[in-house]
Structures are given as C-alpha cells and as structure tokens.
Amino acid sequence: MFNFLKRRSNIQQLFYHTDVHCHILPGVDHGSPDIETSLMLIEKEMEMGINKIVTTSHVTDGVAENSPATLRPAFEKLKAAVEAKGLQVELALSAEYRIDDLFLSQLENKELLPYPNDYLLVENSFQQELLGFDDLMFNLQLKGFSPILAHPERYSYYNHDRYRHLHDSGVLFQANVLSFTGYYGGRAYATAMWMLQNDLIDFLGSDIHNENHARLLAEFTSTKEYKKIEAKLKDRLLNDTAFI
Ligand SMILES: [Fe+2]
C-alpha cells in the first residue's frame, strides 16, 4: 500500500559510467554558473548511471582564458560541496582545450591539465582548423599525450577521408551523445552515424552545459536509437577503462 512512496524513475541507465566531457564546474565558462546548478547537473548525471565525472571546462583564447589557477579552486569548491551533500561520485579535473595560441603557450609552459594517464581533450574552432594541426597532434603524442578530439562530428569542414586520416594518425575521437539526436543539426547527426558504423568512436561525452542538455540526454536513453548505439559501442568504448 506504500508503493506510492517509492521513488520511481523512467530514466534508463547509460551503458558506461564515466562522463569524459562536461561543463559542470561553477562560474568558469558558459556552462554551470553556480554551485547549485553544478550539484543539480551532477545529480542528473548520477540518475543516468554516471559515477565518475571528468570536468572539462573550456580553455579558449579570448573567450574562456582558464588555467590551473582558475580551474583548481572551482574544482576544489565543487568537490567539497559534493562531499558535503554525500553524493557518491568521483570527480577528476581536466579541461577542453581549443587548439589556439593560448593552448600553445600553456603547452610550452607545462600548464596543461590532462586527464589521468595523459589523455588530453582538444577541440577545433568551428570555422577552421589551426594551421599545422597534424604536426601538433604528432608532437603531443611524442610528448606522451594521447589527444582526444572533442565532437569531431561537429566540424563541418572535415570530410570522411580527413576523419580517417586523423584517426589513423592516433587522434582518438569523442562523439557527443546528443549528436545522435540531431541536436547539433543534420550534418553532425549524419557524420556521427557514419563514425559509429565505421568504428571511429572511442569515447562518448555528454558535453552538458545546462539542465536542458541533461533533460535531452535522459530522454534519449530510453529510445531505440540509443540502444543501437549501445549495441555498437559497448565493447569498444574507452570511457570506463582509459583512466584506470
Ligand atoms: Fe564542450
């Protein structure tokens, strides 16, 4: 008779438990503006089965000029709030690096915040690639980093040959789950599906910036389309194994 008291949720669980791309650190980019929003977004991710989150705030020249000096204090504040609330989630600090002059100077000054095991999340401008991008990816690997390209499906200036070339040269690909919903447009959707069919996706990320993203993700997990992605990726996705 007390069934009505039980918490019910129709949110399906994600088939992996580590989110490798999100903007939940408070007040450092155009993601979460404050600690309350950050905690809410973490709880939404946990409802989907996430138990480890790597925070990847933007580091972009002229837009979000973050560095360890700005990101570490925000991370420590969030970690303390998560512990105070008793949330059972592991947090790690990294960043999403736009490949631009600021990145080059932070690389030079050894100021980067890579993921555990020296994976490094990088993104391109949506207008064009930085000149010398391939050499830079090669040099990062020589320095011991494993570059992960964030949401490659969203770079409309890439063609299939270019994707294959980059992946063959050791650049790992992280697709956004919401690309499979059409959220970023038809071109990103078609490219994400092509990458899926051609075994070019190594990581999935939420790229959560706000509550709307969390809601769309939760809705998508209960669809047939999502189950197809799970079937295709569950044995090759690196989300839960790369950082151990
Ligand atoms: Fe992002």
Q: What are the structural domains of the chain? A: 14-233 (3.20.20.140)
pLDDT at 8 over 90: no
Residue 10's pLDDT is 64
State the pTM of this model: 0.94
**Mean pLDDT on 63-71:** 97
How far is the centre of ligand 1, averaged over its atoms, from the C-alpha of 95 (Å)?
9
Mean pLDDT of all residues belonging to the chain: 95
How far is the centre of ligand 1, averaged over its atoms, from the C-alpha of 13 (Å)?
22
How far is the centre of ligand 1, averaged over its atoms, from the C-alpha of 123 (Å)?
8
**Mean pLDDT on 90-112:** 97
How far is the centre of ligand 1, averaged over its atoms, from the C-alpha of 182 (Å)?
17
How far is the centre of ligand 1, averaged over its atoms, from the C-alpha of 174 (Å)?
11
pLDDT at 7 over 80: no
How far is the centre of ligand 1, averaged over its atoms, from the C-alpha of 8 (Å)?
31
**Mean pLDDT on 217-237:** 95
Residue 244's pLDDT is 82
**Mean pLDDT on 61-65:** 96
How far is the centre of ligand 1, averaged over its atoms, from the C-alpha of 172 (Å)?
16
Residue 1's pLDDT is 43
* DSSP string for residues in the chain: --GGGS----PPPPS--EE--B--STTSSSS--SHHHHHHHHHHHHHTT--EEEEEEEEBTTTB---HHHHHHHHHHHHHHHHHHT---EEEEEEEEESSHHHHHHHHTT---PPGGGEEEEE--SS-PPTTHHHHHHHHHHTT-EEEEE-GGG-TT--HHHHHHHHHTT-EEEEEGGGGGTTT-HHHHHHHHHHHHTT---EEE--B-SHHHHHHHHHHTTSHHHHHHHHHHTTT--TTTTT-
Residue 9's pLDDT is 56
Residue 11's pLDDT is 73
158 versus 12: the higher-pLDDT residue is 158
- Counting residues of the chain whose pLDDT is more than 90, the rounded percentage is 93
**Mean pLDDT on 138-165:** 98
Task: Give burial (CB, 10 Å; 0-12/13-18/19+) of 44.
Answer: buried
- Counting residues of the chain whose pLDDT is more than 70, the rounded percentage is 96
Determine the longest span between alpha carbons in the chain, in angstroms.
67
What CA–CA distance (Å, rounded) separates 190 from 184?
10
